[in-house]
Amino acid sequence: MSETDAHYDVHAVEEKWLPVWERLDAFRADDAAALSGEREKRYALTMFPYPSGDLHMGHAEVFAIHDVLARYWRFRGHDVLNPMGWDSFGLPAENAAIRNDEHPATYTYANIETQFESMRRYGVSFDWSRRLHTSDPEYYRWTQWLFLKFREQGLAYRKNSPVNWCPNDQTVLANEQVLADGTCERCGAEVTKRELTQWYFRTTHYAQELHDCLDDLQDSWIGKVVNAQRNWIGRSEGAHVSFAVEGHDPITVFTTRPDTLWGATFMVVAADAKLAGELVTTEQAQALEDYLVEVRKASDIDRLATDRPKSGVFLGTYAVNPVNGERLPIWASDYVLADYGTGAIMAVPAHDQRDLDFARAMDLPVRRVVDTGDENPEETGVATSGNGTYVSSGPLDGLTDKAEGIHRVIELLEADGTGTGTVNFRLRDWLLSRQRYWGAPIPIIHCAACGEVPVPGDQLPVELPELRGADLKPKGTSPLGGAREWVEVACPSCGGPAERDTDTMDTFVDSSWYFFRYLSPNDATQAFDPALAKAWGPIDLYIGGDEHAVLHLLYARFFTKVLRDLGLIDWDEPFSAYLSQGKVINGGRKMSKSLGNGVNLGEQLEKFGVDAVRLTLVFASPPEDNIDWADVSPSGASKFLQRAWRLAGDVASAAGDDAAAGDTALRKVTHKTIHDAAQLLESYRFNVVVARTMELVNATRKAIDSGCGAADPAVREAAEAVAILLSLVAPYTAEEMWERLGHQPSVAQAAWPTVDPALLVEDSVTAVVQIQGKVRARLEVAPDISEADLEALALADPGVVKAIDGRDVRKVIVRAPKLVNVVIGG
């Protein structure tokens, strides 16, 4: 090998192949084939980026992983839809526009171009003819159209309610956008509450289905995401029980333990619920008022502490226990939440820790009705909630099974009309309006005479007015309100003076349906073509980050169900499989400016080239694991790529030579590798595919240097297989190899090699003979040896005979052709 032959120039190779791929247009999805069903379709999707600056390591990882499968599917002859676009509405652009006295579009579209160039160079096999941006009027026209469709169905509505308010971003937030520690998902500021009239999507209408369908996704979605959604939806089974109240309408409570009804000794309503004010007696009104002042002073952070002492106030009113007619005092407390269940509970202190804490603080009675064998809660202060024998519980007495107890009580309550079995959800409706500029305007006109009037379809899109710089400054209400000539319109219904809704939609609305728009991104007549949705949907694999486990993924599932019920699609779930990619970290820590441990993608690409970076990211670990950049070796990846490339140069047989005449040992490695790679790819074990490709490179190198030699056609076969496998991860190197091997571009258009089953069969396998589980002998046997033959052979082996040493053979376990285990008597 000559000196000049030892390396190739990665950047020159990148320059060389990009125009070739574009000319070949090899990654365009074929709608006609999908519609006719002549080829099996595959829809590959990766979460589209927000255009903030250039791409970073995280993008590089997810695109690399994603592209492996998209390319593999194409090799297998599938019709592959692999689109990309930008989630281009959102606050960073708006904030930048305020700082620089610009229009958000300037920043947004400049970044999109930067990211597009980077993606292009990164060599991902996207179908760029379907590129979209959610901030284009042609896109958000249909976001608005969908909003109106939802509203027609009663799934979008406005209500006044306490809402989450981000004081930094100066806008409301959905529950999903407030983190567990009470901070804003986007900016980290501490979220406060405000009472406002806002638009909502009725996600709760689909709570049951969103929950139930998770069972079907259990195996094909990564487990933690399913778990997170299940917890977020928070389904709990129980009963609504109605309690008569002296001098008032009855109140209904939700309980998961109706079987402990006989142990109820008081009632509690949420102090801040309207109900508390209605139930309080005039004598107690002042006490409640004082308590409410107290409660409102407590910050959200205080509320999050679960161990703070219970507080509350007696309302002076009594309810009646429907099962035994007992009088129960009604209290108000902040440990009961106004917006969960009915905002009121029956308190069973013996069997609920919170109720017990309250009872002890307020000196209320505790009555045990389930004897679990534990100490009496009244004395220990520890409530019991397990199975036990019911006592003092009328018809339940003597029963020992909780499920049965619950079931019986519900029957009883239903029989006399005081309660019903029911299911309650933690999930709330999705608050979708935002008081910021750079989003899709809500297409509603408010008219004094007609109320809320939808903007007529032929007037969509409602385009954003031209605002820039200081006009966009957040002031607690939408900046759109400042554009008076935009706001003031004639009512579409009566023609009188009216005003546009000035809020914009949460950008999660835009991203809840973008994968439908990819189907017909240029369709000016509809959001998407239902025929294409039927042909292409659902998405075969979706890849994205864990941070969207209950945000985007839940919203997209909700949208899908609504679109199905609108008759636009015929499938229930958008993402048949979901894989979350880990993060790229550095030195055990998240990359950040303050730590100074950031790794710049552009610099890595400059230094090692696209292929080496992609290979490093795919090879580092299973896709869902984090990658610590300090643990991986892009230079090692470069070396491997050069090694593989040299293989192609060393091949000395001619293209088209019959591999069947080649070295069988190497051919077996090649065919086994291809066979295994397919299985590994199907189960997303991409790092192992790379390892197996490395193995094949090693085997081929050995064959050239000290085996069958470079002229053996088996070497060509192996090198071609390497090129094809490598093209999944390192497309540039693979093209170079393919060309060196004397083929026309592009390797992306090559066929997946056909595996010869005969080459997968071993001539002989090693069978081990164990005595008491310890290996005592190895036998070379035919792979199709029968169990009886193998047993006979094993027992005849001199070593085995010696090891048995005349002891009783109690049992012989035979797993032909690999193993015999002899169990001998003591």
Partner RNA sequence: GCCCCCGUAUCCCAACCGGUCAGAGGAAGCCGCCUUAAAAGCGGCACAGUGUGGGUUCGAGUCCCACCGGGGGCACCA
Tokens of 343: 């905002």
Give me the least distance between CB of 264 and RNA, in Å please.
10
Give me the least distance between CB of 389 and RNA, in Å please.
21
327: Cβ contacts below 8 Å, ≥ 6 apart: 318, 319, 320, 321
Strands 819-824 vs 765-771: parallel, antiparallel or unpaired:
parallel
Q: Which alpha helices (DSSP H) does 651-759 contain, by range?
A: 664-682, 686-706, 713-727, 731-740
521: Cβ contacts below 8 Å, ≥ 6 apart: 83, 85, 130, 131, 132
User: What one-character DSSP code corresponds to residue 752?
Assistant: P
Stretch binding RNA (CB under 7 A), from 12-20, 62-70, 685-693, 733-741: 685-693
212: left (phi over 0), alpha (psi -120 to 50) or beta: alpha
**Nearer to RNA among residue 465 and residue 545 (C-beta):** 545
Strands 266-270 vs 451-454: parallel, antiparallel or unpaired:
unpaired
Task: Name which of residues 324 to 383 contact RNA (CB under 7 A).
Answer: 334-337, 340-341, 343, 345, 352, 354, 357
Q: In this chain, which of 5, 9, 488, 625 binds RNA, going by CB under 7 A?
A: 625
- Three-state SS for 458-475 is HHCCCCCCCCCHHHHCCC
| N-to-C CA span, the chain | 65
Q: Which of 109, 135, 122 is nearest to 52 (CA)?
A: 109
The beta strands (E) that lie in 351-396 are given as 370-371, 389-390
**Nearer to RNA among residue 30 and residue 628 (C-beta):** 628
Is 695 among the residues that bind RNA (CB under 7 A)? yes
Distance CA 742, CA 739 (A): 5
**Nearer to RNA among residue 159 and residue 774 (C-beta):** 774
Task: Name which of residues 605 to 624 contact RNA (CB under 7 A).
Answer: 619-622
Contact 42, 98 (CB under 8 A): no
Tokens of 438: 């750079």
Beta-bridge partners for 194: 163
Q: Before 538, cis peptide (omega within 30)?
A: yes
Give me the least distance between CB of 811 and RNA, in Å please.
6
**Nearer to RNA among residue 34 and residue 681 (C-beta):** 681
Task: Name which of residues 183 to 242 contact RNA (CB under 7 A).
Answer: 223-224, 227-228, 230-232, 234, 236, 238
* Contact string (CB under 7 A) for RNA, positions 630-659, x = contact: -xxx-xx--xx-xx----------------
Three-class SS state of 160: strand
Q: Which of 113, 91, 114 is nearest to 104 (CA)?
A: 91
Give me the least distance between CB of 174 and RNA, in Å please.
12
Q: In this chain, which of 687, 727, 733, 746 binds RNA, going by CB under 7 A?
A: 687
**Nearer to RNA among residue 384 and residue 821 (C-beta):** 821
Q: In this chain, which of 149, 211, 552, 692 binds RNA, going by CB under 7 A?
A: 692
# of chain residues touching RNA (CB under 7 A): 87
Give me the least distance between CB of 826 and RNA, in Å please.
12
Residue indicated by tokens 């029963």: 399
Give me the least distance between CB of 307 and RNA, in Å please.
8
Stretch binding RNA (CB under 7 A), from 94-102, 278-286, 493-501, 681-689: 681-689
Give me the least distance between CB of 480 and RNA, in Å please.
31
**Nearer to RNA among residue 136 and residue 278 (C-beta):** 278
Distance CA 649, CA 630 (A): 33
**Nearer to RNA among residue 76 and residue 354 (C-beta):** 354
Distance CA 260, CA 448 (A): 52
Q: In this chain, which of 110, 301, 304, 382 binds RNA, going by CB under 7 A?
A: 304
Give me the least distance between CB of 407 and RNA, in Å please.
15
Give me the least distance between CB of 602 and RNA, in Å please.
23
Task: Name which of residues 415 to 434 contact RNA (CB under 7 A).
Answer: 424, 426
The per-type count for the chain, helices as H runs and strands as E runs, is: 29, 29
**Nearer to RNA among residue 688 and residue 804 (C-beta):** 688
Task: Name which of residues 538 to 557 contact RNA (CB under 7 A).
Answer: 546, 549-550
Distance CA 408, CA 429 (A): 33
Give me the least distance between CB of 434 and RNA, in Å please.
20
Residue indicated by tokens 């309650």: 424
**Nearer to RNA among residue 86 and residue 335 (C-beta):** 335
Q: In this chain, which of 694, 782, 795, 804 binds RNA, going by CB under 7 A?
A: 694
Strands 156-166 vs 171-173: parallel, antiparallel or unpaired:
antiparallel
Task: Name which of residues 40 to 69 contact RNA (CB under 7 A).
Answer: none
Contact 328, 318 (CB under 8 A): yes
Give me the least distance between CB of 350 and RNA, in Å please.
12
Distance CA 518, CA 127 (A): 10
Task: Name which of residues 101 to 130 contact RNA (CB under 7 A).
Answer: none
Q: Before 137, cis peptide (omega within 30)?
A: no
Give me the least distance between CB of 342 and RNA, in Å please.
7
Residue indicated by tokens 């069947």: 660
* Contact string (CB under 7 A) for RNA, positions 245-284, x = contact: --------xxxxx------------x--------------
User: What one-character DSSP code corresponds to residue 126?
Assistant: -
Give me the least distance between CB of 683 and RNA, in Å please.
9
State which amino acid sits at residue 583.
K
Task: Name which of residues 712 to 751 contact RNA (CB under 7 A).
Answer: none
Give me the least distance between CB of 401 and RNA, in Å please.
18
Is 811 among the residues that bind RNA (CB under 7 A)? yes
Q: In this chain, which of 282, 306, 525, 754 binds RNA, going by CB under 7 A?
A: 306
**Nearer to RNA among residue 387 and residue 626 (C-beta):** 626
State which amino acid sits at residue 5.
D
Is 578 among the residues that bind RNA (CB under 7 A)? no
* Contact string (CB under 7 A) for RNA, positions 749-778, x = contact: ----------------xx-x-x-xxxx--x
Task: Name which of residues 139 to 168 contact RNA (CB under 7 A).
Answer: none
Give me the least distance between CB of 145 and RNA, in Å please.
31
Note the Cα 412 to chain centre separation in Å.
42
Q: Which of 648, 206, 787 is nearest to 214 (CA)?
A: 206
